[in-house]
A and B are shown apart, each in its own frame.
Chain A
């Protein structure tokens, strides 16, 4: 039991930090545009697929840098040439634009990489057990994922709270007109924020790609969870998104790992002769869970 708790906590924190990498961009973009970006999970997927392709050509480490850059540039382009134009037509049009974009990105990914999962492997330099805990080998790659997400989280915090750029961004989110009057190019700030937000989602995609399944439906699987995180954390609130990410990460990991043991706990109370319905349920929830290969 203790083993389960420790491993699940580790996995939960890891999943939570990954969620935060995406949710942070999404929630900041929400406070900027006033609408939820439906295509945000698509940029996570683009990151994973770019990472896969670039790591095939140049190796994993360049991919970790190039893929988010590419996705960020695409994201900035989407803001500059798409959303800024649609903004004039109101919130519904913006929401629909991102909805259509998510649809189109999924189609493009399916055309280029196909519908079946691609073979995105953990790099050889990280493919060893980091430590053994209760006779379970904990992979080094997961520790690497955890470190990367925590590192980016701290860097983001520092940039937003301690630097001049961060101050201007924060001001532009709440008082864009005033910031514009002070001589800053608000349009460019928004474009950069959008680019950085999508790049962060792409980082999550690159590092999660080898551990999870890199497939063209990964955006569709993760999207709803991401919305839940952002809504639970309070729309537009960065600290809220952090807490909600960890919470959802832990809840989901525990729910999945506890699922099998529930029927054992209640086994003796089960009336004899009744069909055991728990098994088919747990198998189904395991399949629809985006973290399927972790449990």
Chain B
């Protein structure tokens, strides 16, 4: 018996593997330390803080969706409740002058998220799939509407605010300036990333994957899928609470938008666009979505429409998300055949860009006509000036959309064939070696 287990266990990691693994985390830590030295402006620091919060939140969401196969539409409940509790906690700690420094406060939010996940999770995780999605939606509605009704705790529509600088200062840091908040968020992001990565490596993490893939088989092996889902749900609630409390500390306010459907939708978008199949996926997605929402909202009024369309495109054409697309090329890089697919990608990129430009032209012209028809038709979107009243603009948009779409379809099919061939060659090389 012990013979079999010994053989089934993977070989212990070599020194080089260990170095690579710990080196990666050390590199991330150094990167986070150096980042504000390179981009030191206030706007950049706020952006980095938001990205860090978003990373924790998206990773906690992926414990549910990516690792345990539970699609939640109400993850913001734990994020928001963590945020509210932390604001109350800061007020109480500051009022009573207790010796609790701010860096420990997110733990309160995490425990709040955990407590509510323990409370609500047992019922929600009875079943996976559509039933879980519907229950999470119902719980989200319930909490979001009670946030507006229970005014003393949630502060109604205005929300409640706190002053984070009133707390005990550590090493002379009172967490007033944004740079100190950045380091706080960065530290918590690193801790949470390591903790959640470690979680995927534990037997529990492996059982979560098993429950996602084949719950019936899990029952045969002797585990209760419900319990596994419940524990995963609790962990997810804990980390969501930490993310929410960091957001509350960053903005010094918590309002009902923290708990709302938009927040739940955003984290779902971030995790899925990044790719739920890999640990790094939600990190990529959180960075991408935060930058996109901040950048696009400066460029155009209707950035949410572009965002929605982009999400639909990802769901339709790249179900693995951005990371999934990149990971598809790992065997090609290993086999040394990546060079063969790149030309066909470049060819396909041209009509795709044309299609995108056409869509933007069309959408921005329509927006101009419906939102402010009286104003000057020479509008500027994405930094490109054009005349929305000019029929030439309309014709160009139409040609770009129709032509771009049909040619893009053809060229992407070619690209898929090229990728297939490159993969076959790479595999053949691997076998020969």
A interface residue numbers (CB < 8 A to B): 34-36, 82, 85-86, 89-93, 95-97, 99-101, 103-104, 107-108, 111-114, 220, 224, 227-228, 231, 235, 281, 284, 288
Contact = CB atoms under 8 A, between A and B. Distances in A.
B72 to A, nearest CB: 11
Nearest to A92: B71
Contacts of A107: 302, 304-305, 308
List the 9 shortest-distance A-B pairs measured between CB atoms, nearest first.
A104-B308, A107-B305, A89-B319, A103-B308, A100-B311, A100-B312, A97-B315, A96-B315, A112-B370
Given A107-B302, A107-B305, A224-B141, A101 B133 contact: no
A28 to B, nearest CB: 16
B310 to A, nearest CB: 9
Most central of B138, B145, B261, B312 by chain A CB within 10 Å: B312
18 contacts: A82-B312, A91-B130, A95-B130, A97-B312, A99-B268, A104-B308, A104-B312, A107-B302, A107-B308, A111-B302, A111-B366, A111-B371, A112-B366, A224-B138, A224-B141, A228-B138, A281-B149, A288-B145
Interface of B: 65, 69, 71, 73, 129-130, 133-134, 137-138, 141, 145, 148-149, 261, 265, 268, 272, 302, 304-305, 308-309, 311-312, 315-316, 319, 363, 366-367, 370-371
Given A96-B272, A103-B304, A111-B302, 15 more contacts: A36-B134, A82-B316, A86-B319, A90-B319, A93-B315, A95-B130, A96-B71, A96-B311, A100-B308, A103-B308, A111-B366, A111-B371, A224-B138, A224-B141, A235-B130
A34 B268 CA distance: 21
Contact of A101 (B71, B138, B312): B312
A99 to B, nearest CB: 7
Nearest to A96: B315
Contacts of B315: 86, 89, 93, 96-97, 100
A257 to B, nearest CB: 20
Contacts, number: 78
Nearest to B319: A89
A115 B96 CA distance: 45
A229 B137 CA distance: 14
A166 B268 CA distance: 38
Contacts of B370: 111-114
Contacts of B304: 103, 107
Nearest to B129: A91
Contacts of B268: 96, 99
Contacts of B130: 34-36, 91, 95, 235
B154 to A, nearest CB: 13
A91 B212 CA distance: 13
A227 B133 CA distance: 11
Contacts of A284: 148-149
Contacts of A228: 138
Nearest to A288: B145
B127 to A, nearest CB: 12
Nearest to A105: B308
Question: Interface on chain B toward A: helix, strand, loop, or mixed SS?
Answer: helix
A99 B309 CA distance: 11
Contacts of A34: 130
B138 to A, nearest CB: 8
A93 B319 contact: yes
B260 to A, nearest CB: 11
Given A36-B130, A96-B315, A227-B134, A104 B305 contact: yes
Contacts of A89: 315, 319
A101 B69 CA distance: 22
A144 B319 CA distance: 46
A240 to B, nearest CB: 15
Contacts of B312: 82, 97, 100-101, 104
A34 B129 CA distance: 10
Contacts of B69: 92
A90 B65 CA distance: 13
B312 to A, nearest CB: 4
A85 to B, nearest CB: 6
A85 B305 contact: no
Nearest to B314: A100
Given A107-B305, A111-B370, A235-B130, A86 B316 contact: yes
B301 to A, nearest CB: 9
Contacts of A100: 308, 311-312, 315
B309 A104 contact: yes
A111 B305 contact: yes
A76 B210 CA distance: 37
Contacts of A220: 261
B134 A85 contact: no
A103 B305 CA distance: 8
A97 B312 CA distance: 6
A271 B129 CA distance: 48
Nearest to B145: A288
Contacts of B305: 104, 107-108, 111
Most central of A101, A104, A114 by chain B CB within 10 Å: A104
A50 to B, nearest CB: 15
A103 B265 contact: yes
A36 B133 CA distance: 10
A103 B371 CA distance: 19
B316 to A, nearest CB: 6
A261 to B, nearest CB: 20
A224 B139 CA distance: 11
Nearest to A82: B316
A174 B175 CA distance: 61
A111 to B, nearest CB: 6
Contact of B137 (A92, A93, A97, A224): A224
A220 B137 CA distance: 12
A97 B269 CA distance: 11
A103 B311 contact: yes
